[in-house]
Structure 1
Amino acid sequence: MTENFPTTFTLLKNHAYLLVLWLAILSGQDVIAGQAEVDKQYQQAKTLKEFEEIAGKIKKLLAQDPGSHEWEWRLARSHYAIAKRSKDSRHYDLCIEHSNRSLEIRPTAIGYFFRALCRGKKGEMQGIWSSLGIIDPFEKDMKKALEMDPSIQNGGPNRALGKLYLELPFFLGGSTDQSIYHLKEAVRISPGYAENHLGLAQAYYAKNNFIAARKSLSTLLSLTDNVTDDEDLLKIRTQGQELMKKIPRDFQSND
């Protein structure tokens, strides 16, 4: 019995290690499944109440798993959606706060993206979008997100930079050429995302390239043809229809 003790002990230790490893794997799988479920709920949410419920759920999950950058940026994303619908700038502050926490834990493209987005939207609401104090951090964060992962949020970093360069006056860095470049990249990365086509059409229109603008708008209208209950897509479609009406009649017919 004494001679077999080390072997028995080793076997028990190995079994314990495997059990701990197995439990850790199961726990990790549960977390990933939970994140996927929250992402699905976010994509399907349409009302302010639904986004508030998602934010509440993530807060509870963060209490159970503090220090998770995955939950921090998802909470930032939820506050961004709430701010858009409630017009309450406090939620942009909360978006920035949770993006900061996410980036402190682990720098990621999605963390930089939402921090920039909420900084920009907050500045826009306050009427100081032309302030260099807003532009520089926004641009730096978006470029960092672009460098790390240009595919996030359906080409989001390129889309955001394209809009920035379109909206800014030239003396603050605005450029329709740079806008078109980034928005074309957004379309290339995510051709099925309607907002990319709207942004590109707006940039082409600003450049007086009405043929290209009409082509982008036609794609946008095709992508949103059967939309009936998505408020964001309906707004994008309406903006596209209004811009199409502004294109000179000589450029309205098919090529």
Structure 2
Amino acid sequence: MKKILITLLFLIGPIAYGQSAFAKAEQLYRADNYEKALVSFTKLYDQDGDNLGVIERLGDIAGHKKDFKTAMKYYQLLVEKKPKDAHYNFKYGGAMGLYAKSSSKLKALGMLDDIKGYLKKAAKLDPNHIESRHALSQLYCELPGIVGGSIKQSRFYANELLKISPVDGYLAHGLINEYKEEYEKAVISYTKAIETGGSLLTYRKLATVYENKLKDDKKALQTLKRAQIKHKDRQLTADIAGLEIRVQMNE
């Protein structure tokens, strides 16, 4: 779950800039060379501390390095400069949520209202904002009811996703079904996600339920082999080989 939120948060990039220095720094970032990208974007920030694209990338780099406290600092600057930007509110609330997960329970509880507030603001500012709704659905699903968790609220945002992006909606419902240990329903949701989108992620989510929750290696193998027809991926090939050995051993 956490990995999904990280992916949503830090792969959403700033608007491209024409300046060559920014373009070179961005190239380093896109190549996952975060240390060199950090040096380049820091120099740009020293030259122009009001460049929103530079500030955002510094936050993104900190996020990739799992330094969520620093990421929060940069995203807060963005929100202060453009408080009605859904993108920035989502990133700030998301980084805050990831920081809270690595903090003490008491500290996390103290941040909860702010996390919800910024994510909800992002969703309100942009009725088609997918990432904030994913994050809110996940948040309400994972939180205990005593501190504001609600499957009903989680389903609400998953249903909003269905209207905006059906594949994202089915993925969100699948995660809720898994959390509730309703694995057959999760299979239905992830199957619909495959039929709607067909990304490698959708196949992997279904295969994982079969393998880890329903203990059905054959169906997990069948799912990954279907994925292999559409997607060429080295790790996928290795996973299929490992499952084939296990299935043969159990026959």
If the TM-score is normalised by the length of the shorter chain, which range does it land in?
0.5 to 0.7
Q: Distance in 2 between matches of 1:105 and 1:75?
A: 16
Aligned residues of 2:143 and 2:149 also touching (Cα < 8 A): yes
Partner of 1:144: 121
Partner of 1:174: 149
Q: Distance in 2 between matches of 1:32 and 1:192?
A: 37
Q: Distance in 2 between matches of 1:41 and 1:220?
A: 33
Partner of 1:53: 36
Q: 1:144-201, CA deviations, whole angstroms, 9 ceiling, x for partnerless residues?
A: 111122545xx110011101100011111111121122123335434456xx644320
Q: Report the TM-score when normalising by structure 1.
A: 0.63
Say if 2:80 is the partner of 1:104: yes
Q: Which amino acid aligns with 1:110?
A: H
Q: 1:191-250, CA deviations, whole angstroms, 9 ceiling, x for partnerless residues?
A: 456xx644320212345655542122225567344xxxxxxx5xx86554332342598x
Q: Distance in 1 between matches of 2:145 and 2:191?
A: 29
Partner of 1:242: 208
Structure number with bigger Rg: 1
Aligned residues of 1:123 and 1:129 also touching (Cα < 8 A): no
Gaps of 5+ in 1: 1-27, 84-90, 226-232
Aligned length: 198
Q: Report the TM-score when normalising by structure 2.
A: 0.64
- DSSP 3-state at the match of 2:105: coil
Root-mean-square deviation (Å): 3.6
Q: Distance in 2 between matches of 1:150 and 1:54?
A: 33
Give 1:30's match in structure 2, choosing from 18, 25, 42: 18
Q: Distance in 1 between matches of 2:145 and 2:161?
A: 22
Aligned residues of 2:55 and 2:74 also touching (Cα < 8 A): yes
Say if 2:96 is the partner of 1:126: no
- DSSP 3-state at the match of 1:30: coil
Percent identity between matched residues is: 23
Q: Which amino acid aligns with 2:91?
A: F
Q: Which amino acid aligns with 1:103?
A: V
> In structure 2, do the counterparts of structure 1 residues 244 and 51 end up closer, same or farther at CA, with 3 Å as the change threshold?
farther
Q: Which amino acid aligns with 1:243?
A: V
Q: Distance in 2 between matches of 1:143 and 1:168?
A: 16
Q: Which amino acid aligns with 1:74?
A: R
Give 1:214's match in structure 2, choosing from 164, 167, 187: 187
Q: 1:10-54, CA deviations, whole angstroms, 9 ceiling, x for partnerless residues?
A: xxxxxxxxxxxxxxxxxx97359957983x765x54x5xx23333
Aligned residues of 2:183 and 2:209 also touching (Cα < 8 A): no
Aligned residues of 1:73 and 1:110 also touching (Cα < 8 A): no
Aligned residues of 1:129 and 1:135 also touching (Cα < 8 A): no
Say if 2:148 is the partner of 1:165: no
> In structure 2, do the counterparts of structure 1 residues 130 and 187 end up closer, same or farther at CA, with 3 Å as the change threshold?
farther
Give 1:135's match in structure 2, choosing from 101, 108, 112: 112
- DSSP 3-state at the match of 2:49: coil
